[in-house]
Amino acid sequence: MSAVDLTQFHKTFFEESREGLDAMEAALLALDSGSTDHELVHTIFRAAHSIKGGAATFGFADVAAFTHVAESLLEEVRSERRAVDSGLIEVLLRSVDCMRAMLERSSLGQPVADAESEALRVELVQLVSGEIAAPAVAAASLVAPVSGWNIAFTALPHLLQTGNDPLRLFRELQQLGRLEVVRAFITDSAPAQLAELDPSQCHLGWELHLHGAVARGDVDAVFDWLDGDCELTIAPMVEPAAADAVPLTSDAPVPPAASASRPIRETATASSEGSSIRVGIDKVDALINMMGELVITQSMLSDIGEKFELSQLGRLRDGLVQLERATRELQESVMRIRMLPIASVFNRFPRLVHDLERKLDKRVRLELHGEHTELDKTVLEKIGDPLVHLVRNAIDHGLESPAQRKAAGKPETGTLKLNAYHEGGNIVVQISDDGAGLNHAAIVAKAQQRGLVAAGQELSDAEVAELIFQPGFSTAAQATDLSGRGVGMDVVRRNVRDLGGSVGVRSASGKGSTFTITLPLTLAIIDGLVTAVGHERYIVPLTSIVESLRLRADAVRKIAGGGEVFHFRDEYLPIMRLHRAFACSDAVTDIERGIVVVIEEDGRRVGLLVDDLLGQQQAVVKSLEAHYRRVQGISGATILSDGSVALIVDVGGVVRLGQHRKAA
């Protein structure tokens, strides 16, 4: 084989292919929404072509074979021999999904072709008219259980000169299934006289039977490199009972022109985005490290500045101002490296909405705003799933069917709006629909049934909305019989909380609902409360803190098992003595002398006993795992202005410890 190790390029190939597929998808959806821009077709074709080329080069024969057929179909569209219709777009969208899945499997080193991809390939082959009709006939039987393949393989004389060796091919075939050589023969091209025989020429042909359920793509792959070096026919050996007809076109319901007006952002942005960030994350992390250092230096200098002699104060202050500015600039520019537009997440929604419309028989107009709002990459990666969840819920439960909407005097097509914007140091993402709104009666009924609310209890709108975020509020049954939204909303809230953000809902009956997610710009810096426990300093993330209070000794009740609880706004909260959980010496043990910080995670609250509160500060989050390991109850570390290390409390972990304690 070649001396170049191609595997080193695989990652890039997969990355580029994914981008190509995204571009194809976006362009297809734009075509579906009525755009007639011919450039879109070219975009799709180009993407398919380069994926095919890459796949063939790097030895992903199945992917290449599949893409080849899709490309043939696209070629017909490009040369205007075939009109674009919803059926075609549907097939091509499914092809994109299929290629995506195939690439995914390739990247994991798994077998690539499966029944689904094979069936789709056959469907595509059948769609392609004209010159490749012949293979289409052969391929039509592919979906049926194939017992094997008849392969007639005749080498052209120059076969050996191109570096091919029939023996190697046979060995490869043998790995696919049981190979039987039915006949081997000498071709007509062979010289009549043995003396004239040129050993570099090949004059042999074979008839082979390959037994076993082997995918056509795998067989094709073996002969992939022999294009023009041999005569080859591959025909299936089919079980007599086989061959159910494959549907010629997709029979997915095609909505009328309603979708024609759907505005979707230009494809130009779709193909250009994402290509900008290929910075090794380690380099980025190193920069962030540097930035953290500078932040620390700056705060150290401020410390000195506060205690410095008066005569020098002016100069020192000037320097400090400069340092501070430099720090801020570096911080901003460094952070910007990790920032990506939220468009990369928003981009999946046109497709999602497109699929859901068909599945749920609803009409949706999707509006995207603020796609260029930038978010930290890590936040971006984790916000996708919650957003998908909310969008799916909005269409499934929020928006009514066209008939219901008409009856309610609303346009048949519902509107789903996604909006991202900056607000203070946060990013706000809003998902709003003009559907029916939360069904208060149904939610309250469900809550009563589950014992979350007492019968007859009056609830405010906000309280009702809050109910849908209750863990376990939703079950599979509710997804169908409840028109409110309960499906996994607690998971959405937890995911958003994990990112240090919050999620809320506003709803008006008959007018729709708006879910608002507020996220920090980045995970690398948090706002924290510095607490003292013995000689140690612990940072408690500000977003998790409900309240801090001093307790009187008589407010504390002991419960069986040695636990302590205290009364806090209609509920009893467990007290977690941080010095005990973290085994700190010299800490305040008298509850009256310490301070209780009430923290909340997932609706569960715990009172954290600390010695003292030292103030609020921004903390640059550092990993403990980089050089040590994960520690339960600790989410990371930070460096204080005196250069010492303070640990950051993992509120979720600590609350779970507290629950543990209650159970014990």
Residue 647 contacts another protein per CB under 8 A:
yes
In the complex, the smallest distance separating the C-beta of residue 540 from another protein, rounded to whole angstroms, is 15
Of 328 and 580, the one with the shorter C-beta distance to another protein is 580
Residue 562 contacts another protein per CB under 8 A:
yes
Residue 469 contacts another protein per CB under 8 A:
no
290-309 residues near another protein, rule: CB under 8 A:
290, 292-293, 296
Distance CA 443, CA 465 (A): 9
Contacts of 611 (CB under 8 A, 6+ apart): 531, 532, 533, 534, 579, 587, 588, 593, 594, 595
Residue 634 contacts another protein per CB under 8 A:
yes
By CB under 8 A, name the one of 149, 349, 566, 582 that touches another protein.
Answer: 582
Of 242 and 565, the one with the shorter C-beta distance to another protein is 565
Residue 661 contacts another protein per CB under 8 A:
yes
Distance CA 608, CA 598 (A): 6
Identify the DSSP state of 241. Answer: T
Q: Residue 318 corresponds to which tokens in the numbers above?
A: 């000037």
Beta strands across the sheet bearing 426-433: 364-369, 414-423, 426-433, 512-520, 502-508
Residue 580 contacts another protein per CB under 8 A:
yes
Residue 645 contacts another protein per CB under 8 A:
yes
By CB under 8 A, name the one of 54, 148, 633, 652 that touches another protein.
Answer: 633
Amino acid at 297: T
Of 424 and 562, the one with the shorter C-beta distance to another protein is 562
Distance CA 559, CA 566 (A): 10
Residue 558 contacts another protein per CB under 8 A:
no
Q: Would you call 319 helix, strand, or coil by DSSP?
A: helix
Residue 281 contacts another protein per CB under 8 A:
no
The span of 72-80, 120-128, 457-465, 620-628 binding another protein (CB under 8 A) equals: 620-628
Residue 652 contacts another protein per CB under 8 A:
no
Q: Count the neighbouring beta carbons within 10 Å of the beta carbon of residue 183.
A: 9
The size of the interface with another protein (CB under 8 A), counted in residues, is 37
In the complex, the smallest distance separating the C-beta of residue 661 from another protein, rounded to whole angstroms, is 5
The span of 34-42, 199-207, 408-416, 574-582 binding another protein (CB under 8 A) equals: 574-582
Closest listed residue to residue 620, CA positions, set 523, 509, 553:
523
Which phi and psi angles does 411 have, rounded to 5°?
Answer: -60, 150
Closest listed residue to residue 398, CA positions, set 495, 514, 481, 503:
514
Of 283 and 511, the one with the shorter C-beta distance to another protein is 283
DSSP 516-533: EEEEES-SSEEEEEEEEE
Closest listed residue to residue 530, CA positions, set 329, 299, 301, 289:
299
By CB under 8 A, name the one of 598, 637, 651, 655 that touches another protein.
Answer: 637
Residue 627 contacts another protein per CB under 8 A:
yes
Residue 581 contacts another protein per CB under 8 A:
yes
Residue 289 contacts another protein per CB under 8 A:
yes
Of 338 and 389, the one with the shorter C-beta distance to another protein is 338
Closest listed residue to residue 140, CA positions, set 156, 129, 124:
124
* x/- map, 502-541, another protein, by CB under 8 A: ---------------------------------xxx----
Of 489 and 649, the one with the shorter C-beta distance to another protein is 649
The span of 25-33, 52-60, 453-461, 653-661 binding another protein (CB under 8 A) equals: 653-661
Residue 29 contacts another protein per CB under 8 A:
no
Residue 607 contacts another protein per CB under 8 A:
no
Contacts of 43 (CB under 8 A, 6+ apart): 23, 24, 27, 267, 271
Residue 616 contacts another protein per CB under 8 A:
no
DSSP 547-586: EEE---GGGEEE-TTS-EEEEETTEEEEEEEHHHHTT-SS
- Contacts with another protein by CB under 8 A lie at 289-290, 292-293, 296, 535-537, 561-562, 580-584, 622-624, 626-629, 631-634, 637, 639, 643-647, 657, 660-661, 664
